[in-house]
Amino acid sequence: MLSIEKLNISVGDKKILEDFNLKIGKGEVHAIMGPNGSGKSTLSYVLAGKDGYEVDGKIIFKNENIIGLPADARAQKGIFLAFQYPIEIPGVFMNNFLKTSLNAVKKAKGQKEVDVVEFLSLVKQHAKKLGIKDEQLGRALNVGFSGGEKKRNEVLQMSLLEPDLAILDETDSGLDIDALKIVADGVNALRSPNRSFLIITHYQRLLDYIKPDFVHVMVNGSIVKTGCSKLAQELDKIGYKEFQKAI
């Protein structure tokens, strides 16, 4: 699904990722854990196609090097980034945004676009599963949403767009226990042999609900250790200090 090879990312003189390598197979769930400032969010932005970084190396997604492709093209190809801090856009209403996004992706895939009636039925069905009220769908995008509502909204978009690769950037931050469970259930419902996940988190608690196949420890822009889901539990006990010392 995804193969990152010798990826270097910098902003000005500052190197953020250096010779970074990662392979994610079809249907696999990978978690990247690491301390603040280790480059996890930058990695997610670069995978999604954000401007403003100097990028070198290869990002092979479904057998195509996507470096240089703009964010919209990557999303249309099936990459989805659930933002750590979802952006508030005043005046852009949820329903209009979701329908525009869904149809843009469908159009790119050569699928039939949905009309208003089909869209409303689809979105309500997905929203209900995530405990999102109809009233929220009539509001401006993320404006006045609580932290939990924003994160649920990210999962709603993910379930509508049905991506091949979903990157979750600290989706657990700002969620209470009940909301975390709802979000995790939403993610688990999307797990399939054809869909891969890259979950970025500081804490093990999200991984109690979404069991990863692989856990990677990322420090200072590189993966320093890879293991199975047990590694996350170990990290919860020992923290990241040991890995930082080693570097």
The residues binding other proteins (CB under 8 A) are 48-52, 70-72, 74-76, 80-81, 83, 86-87, 89-93, 96-97, 100-101, 104-105, 108, 140, 157, 161
User: DSSP string covering 23-57, please?
Assistant: EE-TT-EEEEE--TTSSHHHHHHHHHT-SS-EEEE
195 Cβ contact partners less than 8 Å away, ≥ 6 residues apart: 27, 162, 163, 164, 165, 166
Smallest distance from other proteins to CB 218, Å: 21
Helix (H) or strand (E) holding 85: none
Q: List Cα–Cα distances, 236 to 134, 185, 214, in angstroms.
A: 38, 22, 16
Coil, strand or helix: which one is 190? helix
Smallest distance from other proteins to CB 73, Å: 9
Smallest distance from other proteins to CB 157, Å: 6
Residue 52 or 193: the one with the smaller Cβ distance to other proteins is 52
Residue 154 or 172: the one with the smaller Cβ distance to other proteins is 154
Whats the size of the chain, residue-wise? Answer: 247
Give the CA count within 13 Å in the CB-facing half-sphere of 166: 28
Smallest distance from other proteins to CB 91, Å: 3
Residue 85 or 228: the one with the smaller Cβ distance to other proteins is 85
Residue 20 or 80: the one with the smaller Cβ distance to other proteins is 80
Give the CA count within 13 Å in the CB-facing half-sphere of 185: 12
Smallest distance from other proteins to CB 119, Å: 14
User: DSSP string covering 91-113, please?
Assistant: EEEHHHHHHHHHHHHHHHTTPPP
Residue 72 or 115: the one with the smaller Cβ distance to other proteins is 72
Residue 53 or 209: the one with the smaller Cβ distance to other proteins is 53
Smallest distance from other proteins to CB 206, Å: 21
Token output for 155? 């999962």
